[in-house]
Amino acid sequence: MKKVVLLIMGIFVLLFEMNAQRLPLGSKPTKDPCTTEMGFAMLPVAVDTTIGRSVANNDVLWENGDVILVKFMNNAGSQQVRNMIMQHAKIWEQYGNITLKFVPDDTEATNIRIKLGSKLDNHGHNSQLGIKCNNVPQYMQTMNLDTSDFIDYKGYIDQYKNGGPFLQFLRNKGTDFKNYTYNDLFRDVIEYKDPFVKWNYDALRGTTAHEFGHALGLLHEQSYPNGIKWNKDTVYKYYAKYQGWNKEKVDFNVLEASDFFYTNGTTYDPKSIMHYPVQAWQTVDGFTVGSNDDLSDGDKKIIAALYPKDKKVSDLAVPKIEVNNINYGDVKTDNVKKGILIYPSFDIKTSALLGAVYLVARLTTEDGLYYIPTTNANYSWNKMAATYIKLKLLPSTKTSINKGTQKNLELFFPFKEMPDLAGKNVKIEFSVYQDDVVNNRYQKLTFNFLSSPVSVPK
């Protein structure tokens, strides 16, 4: 009788172990997409705001031959994972005349700053584009890498199934095996703190190279004009389910095609490291793109053309102008000159090519919500009341405008040239536009900056 009881107990324990060792519930989530953003800050839940995409945004490229200072933040990440990230980032140096110089964490001023996180902080993978990194305050990251996305979870599932140390860890914490999901697995592996982490080397290599491609100015290849025939309804449903993205975000991140200006004469490259994976059900013709984890021949050619090793300036270079540290030094009415005097304060830096900018001061309503229309052709910007001046800038220079007590630039708006605003309060909105004569376009370089209310005399 005792043997029968022991046999029954043994069977019960075996069944429990089999139940405890089953695979996690639900379908395995796909690798997190890149969520590179063009905005000023790295948002807690980042979105990919790369404007219409193809190969490269020439307006944000570094200067050819630049040494770009890179550091990790907050002493995060093991030396092992840091070494792998540095190795895969520097792959771009083999083909382009650019240097990524990794410096200690306590370096005060750097160009690229990497925050290593996990699925628990929800920052994902993203990077500022090119020289836009320089607009980010030094205490903030310019790039996020989710290192928990680089883990080979299959190794831990094997331990989970075969009674390895990870299963013992789960038992010790009182895991509910009956309702165990992949999200539970991700959380537990991160908490496990394995000294011998099982890495997914392909994912680590591909994602790192992809994000540093963004940091050098490269854009998502899937938005190459007419490159993919999307099945939009299924794409919307997919990203709504797995990423929580609404239609507008999917349009912005995935479906929008870029301007041909940014293709730099290249052809569509489905093997590019900068391409999202594409499943057959996402397209109307069954077209697919796998997970690209290595630089394609196209990637190597475009980075070599943008940052050539055999010449000082790339043939693809455009005038680049950076405007930083912008604010209103002074805005005031002058009853002697009979107008509004505007002294915007900012720093302006040019690239190796001659550039020109328009400094534009528009009138808005007192609440700053609406421009004020005008019929005055001389004091107008797109038929809205404004004064502006054009500056031609020498190559490779840096100039400070209206800093401190120095007044070296003035915008003037005469009262008599304004619409009928006597006795009303207005605000002045200041913006800088680049005049790209070669490519026949204007490019806005700044956000809108509003002054305090100014009263127009009766």
CB within 8 Å of 312: residues ≥ 6 apart: 64, 65, 352
CA dihedral 194, 195, 199, 204 (to 10 degrees): 110
Which regions in the chain score pLDDT beneath 70? 1-55, 256-262, 328-329, 436-444, 446-448
CB within 8 Å of 286: residues ≥ 6 apart: 280
Residue keyed to tokens 């569509």? 268
Q: Is 321-455 the same fold as 58-149+200-306?
A: no
Predicted local confidence at residue 121, as pLDDT: 82
Rounded CA separation 362/176 (Å): 62
Rounded CA separation 325/317 (Å): 25
Which CATH number among 3.40.50.920, 1.10.630.10, 2.60.40.10, 3.40.50.10860 corresponds to the domain 321-455? 2.60.40.10
CB within 8 Å of 38: residues ≥ 6 apart: 49, 50, 51, 128, 129, 132
- Residues present in the chain in total: 458
Q: Which residues of 328-338 are buried (b: 16+ CB within 10 A; e: fewer)?
A: bbebeeeeeee
What is the three-class DSSP state of 44?
coil
The domain spans of the chain are 2-28+152-192, 58-149+200-306, 321-455
What would you report as the CA-atom Rg of the chain, rounded to the nearest whole angstrom?
Answer: 28
Q: What is the DSSP string of 298-329?
A: HHHHHHHHHS-SSSSS-TT----EEEEEEEEE
Residue type, 24: P
CA dist 32 → 118, 146, 249 (Å): 11, 9, 15
CATH of domain 58-149+200-306: 3.40.390.10
- The long-range contacts involving 88-94, CB below 8 angstroms and separated by at least 24 positions, are 88/204, 88/205, 88/208, 88/209, 88/212, 89/208, 89/209, 89/212, 91/209, 91/295, 92/209, 92/212, 92/213, 92/216, 92/295, 92/303
Sort strands 339-350 and 411-414 into parallel, antiparallel or unpaired.
antiparallel
Rounded CA separation 272/128 (Å): 19
What is the three-class DSSP state of 135?
helix
Predicted local confidence at residue 22, as pLDDT: 52
Predicted local confidence at residue 12, as pLDDT: 40
CA dihedral 229, 230, 233, 235 (to 10 degrees): 170
